[in-house]
Amino acid sequence: MTDIVISVRDLTKRFGDFTAVDRISFDVLRGEIFGFLGANGAGKTTAMRMLCGLSYPTSGSGTVAGYDVMREGEKIKHHIGYMSQRFSLYNDLTVWENMRLFAGIYGLTKRETEERAAELLDRLNFSSERNTLVGSLPLGWKQKLSFAIATIHRPEVVFLDEPTGGVDPVTRRQFWEMIYEAAEAGTTIFVTTHYMDEAEYCSRVSIMVDGQVRALDTPARLKQQFSAESMDEVFRTLARGAQRGE
Amino acid sequence: MAAIEVHNLSKCYGGVRALDSVSFAVERGELFGLIGPDGAGKTTLFRLLATLLNADEGVATVDGFDIKSDYRAIRSRVGYMPGRFSLYPDLSVEENLRFFAALFGVTIEESYDLIAPIYKQIEPFRTRRAGKLSGGMKQKLALSCALIHRPSVLFLDEPTTGVDAVSRSEFWDMLAGLKKRGITILVSTPYMDEASRCDRIALCNEGHILGIDTPEGIVRGFDKKLYGIGAKNMYALLERARRADGVEDCYPFGEKHHLVADEGFDKGRFKALLSDVEGLEIVEAEPTIEDMFIKLMKR
């Protein structure tokens, strides 16, 4: 097994004359928390869609979880986890029913589903809530469950798209502790956020401006490079130079 | 008389108390922030004050008018920008603006001086359909429409949610400009770092107000000693610090973790106890609005 989970070179997406993503290149290593930042309209969403197998690049090359981004979008989808902005489980299904549904979608067998569900419930200390309706759980628990279910098929990398938008400061931190824990256990995390303090929690951060990756390094080195006190300042310096709007 | 007065306002949806006996007052010309996460009751409060919903209990006035009996007077005096984009996507920028002007019996020209600083930025696109605008441009158009009848009070429900840090900062600059024109502004946000742009703020959570003060006043209310701690392995540090003596709380806070010390905490002893932690750092830290929010939530 290689230690590079995502590797892209000169990945480009054009819509007519408009180059939404312009030759981006980077590697994401196993167990990394990789922060993917950018101003509105910088091309983050388009880039994420290509990495998740939802859209094919116009040009470039690369692999995600070992599959070719130019040809194997379907295979990529099966081998990654994805948690969208905010909560995306079914409120009127129980904890177990949600697990069974997503396990089924990812093609786990009945036995695999039972084993994996038991393991996740145990790790979350959730076993007593197996038959509770998800809608009645507190927000923090829902988020933990959402993340756990995004990993039900043991993906090599989990994409988190603004997972903490609108979430209270206590729950937001609980969520990040869970990300830390998952990364320590070897899960690779690819995450976008508008909270600049969260950029500090990442192993490495990339910042997109006008379709290109303009900066990529550890938060400490980025701050050094831009002579900035905080990631917020680094981000502002780069985003202010943006030529195109949204 | 205050621009907005709210006394024990409550609203339930089914069994859920979205707003639970909330009271506060906003002075004329004040920029007042409702700071809190989803589910705090911010949107419900706006809908009550904008006379779009009736309260279950309590009373409130806006610009001196009762939200129940004088709703017509209130509707002509307030500008309301809901959280979700609610202009007409099939109308152009200019058509939307004209439509809202017509509803209030005014013209764009009459109000142009007020909206100009904002509207000028999107005027080059005035023939573009609103549905085809970028997020930041939609926001500017929505604000222009909310101002077209020269309201005395402006309600802005999470105008900066999902907007990047630079655009958020520009939006607050626009609000500062409107405040100078004497408009009372009630604005909500889930971003704690925006609190400092307000004259006063209310920290809101789960239908309650946890505290009301100036941003500086809120921070002064943090009566514990706060430290920033760091190490090579930040996650492991969190676990270790929480188990140390005299640590009331420890949580991630950007570059460093914040450690809330209680009376039994001793910096020297803490460093000795964690002497095996690689790259250990501990420095005194200034509390922020977010530290106070966390403290109030856990109380």
pLDDT tens by residue, B30-75: 999 999 998 899 999 999 999 999 999 999 999 999 999 999 999 9
The interface predicted TM-score (ipTM) is: 0.85
Task: Write down the pLDDT at residue A87.
Answer: 62
**Structure token pair of residue B1:** 């008389």
Q: Is the pLDDT of residue A121 over 90?
A: yes
Beta-carbon separation of B165 and A236 below 8 A: yes
Q: What percent of chain A lies above the pLDDT cut of 70?
A: 97
Q: CA-CA distance, A150 to A143, in Å (whole number)?
A: 11
Residue B253 contacts A where some CB pair is shorter than 8 Å = yes
Q: How far apart are CA B131 and CA B119, in angstroms?
A: 17
B188: nearest CA partner in chain A? A166
Chain A: closest CA distance from residue B2 (Å): 30
**Helical pair A95-105 and A139-150, crossing angle rounded to 10 deg:** 20
- Provide the residue ranges of all domains of chain A, joining segments of one domain with +: 4-89+142-240
**Distance of alpha carbon B181 from alpha carbon B26, whole angstroms:** 16
Average pLDDT of the segment spanning B217-238: 95
For B169-182, write each residue's pLDDT tens digit. 889 999 999 999 99
pLDDT bucket at A93, cuts 50 / 70 / 90: very high
pLDDT of residue A164: 86
Cα distances (angstroms) measured from residue B261 to each of B138, B203, B209, B285, B296: 45, 23, 25, 11, 16
- pLDDT, residue A185, reads 87
Nearest chain A residue to B194 by CA: give it.
Answer: A195
Q: Give B163's pLDDT tier (boundaries 50, 70, 90).
A: confident
Contact B161 A165 (CB under 8 A): yes
pLDDT tens by residue, A12-33:
999 999 999 999 999 999 999 9
CA B88 to chain centroid, in Å, comes to 25
Q: Is the pLDDT of residue A2 over 80?
A: no
- Least confident range from A189-198, B88-97, B264-273: namely A189-198
pLDDT band at A210 (very low <50, low <70, confident <90, very high): very high
Query: Greater confidence, B284 or A85?
Result: B284
Contacts of B38 in chain A (CB under 8 A): 139, 166-168
What six digits make up the tokens of A219?
């938060």
| B239 chain-A contacts, CB cut-off 8 A | none
DSSP calls for A65-102: TTEETTT-HHHHHHHEEEE-SS--S-TTSBHHHHHHHH
Pairing status of strand B65-66 against strand A80-83 = unpaired
Encoded tokens for B269: 């002893």
Q: E strand or H helix at B35, and its extent?
A: strand B31-35
Report the residue of chain B nearest A164, measured CA to CA.
B37
pLDDT, residue B23, reads: 98
pLDDT over 90, % of chain A: 76
Residue A204 has pLDDT above 70, yes or no: yes
* Nearest residue on chain B to A169, alpha-carbon basis: B294
Chain B interface includes A36 (CB < 8 A): no
Determine contact, residues B216/B287, Cβ cutoff 8 Å.
Answer: no
Give the CATH architecture of domain A4-89+142-240: 3-Layer(aba) Sandwich (3.40)
Q: How far is CA B211 from CA A213, B249, B268, in A?
A: 42, 20, 34
| pLDDT for residue A195 | 86
Span A25-51, average pLDDT: 94
Is the confidence at residue B76, as pLDDT, over 60? Answer: yes
pLDDT value, residue A183: 92
Question: Stretch A212-223: mean pLDDT, rounded?
Answer: 96
pLDDT band per the 50, 70, 90 thresholds, residue B231: very high
Query: In the prediction, which pLDDT does B240 show?
Result: 95
Query: Which one of A45, A87, A194 makes the best mutation probe of the B interface by having the most chain B beta carbons within 10 Å?
Result: A194
Residue bearing the bigger pLDDT, A198 or A40:
A198
Does A139 lie at the interface with B, CB-CB under 8 angstroms? yes
CB < 8 Å to B191, chain A: 195
pLDDT-derived band at B134 (thresholds 50, 70, 90) equals: confident
Kindly tell me if the per-residue pLDDT of A246 is higher than 60.
no
CATH 3.30.70.100 domain residues, chain B: 221-298
Contact B83, B125 (CB under 8 A): no
pLDDT for residue B261 is more than 60: yes
Residue-averaged pLDDT of chain B: 95
CA distance A46 to A20: 7
Cα B139 to Cα B84: distance, rounded to the nearest angstrom? 10
pLDDT at A71 over 90: yes
The predicted pLDDT at position B161 comes to: 85
Question: What mean pLDDT, rounded, does chain A reach?
Answer: 92
Half-sphere exposure of A103 (CA within 13 A, CB side): 20
What DSSP line would sit under chain A, residue for residue? --SEEEEEEEEEEEETTEEEEEEEEEEEETT-EEEEEE-TTSSHHHHHHHHTTSS--SEEEEEETTEETTT-HHHHHHHEEEE-SS--S-TTSBHHHHHHHHHHHTT--HHHHHHHHHHHHHHTT-GGGTTSBGGGS-HHHHHHHHHHHHTTT--SEEEEESTTTT--HHHHHHHHHHHHHHHHTT-EEEEE-S-HHHHTTSSEEEEEETTEEEEEE-HHHHHHHTT-SSHHHHHHHHHHT--S--
Confidence of residue A245 (pLDDT cuts 50, 70, 90): low
Which CATH number is B4-219's, of 3.40.50.150, 1.10.287.610, 3.30.460.80, 3.40.50.300? 3.40.50.300
Nearest to A165 among B40, B162, B166 (CB): B162
Tell me which chain B residue has its CA closest to the CA of residue A197.
B254
Q: Rounded CA gap, B17 and A36, in Å? A: 37
Does residue A198 carry a pLDDT above 70? yes
Q: Would an 8 Å CB–CB cutoff place B190 in contact with chain A?
A: yes
**Residue B172 has what pLDDT?**
95
- In the predicted structure, residue A1 carries a pLDDT above the cut 70: no
Instruction: State chain A's maximal CA–CA distance in angstroms.
Output: 55
CB of B136 within 8 Å of a chain A CB? The answer is yes
Q: Kindly state the average pLDDT of the residues A204-214.
A: 96
Pick the CATH number of B221-298 from 3.30.1300.10, 3.40.50.300, 3.30.70.100, 3.90.1150.10: 3.30.70.100
Average pLDDT over residues A106-129: 93
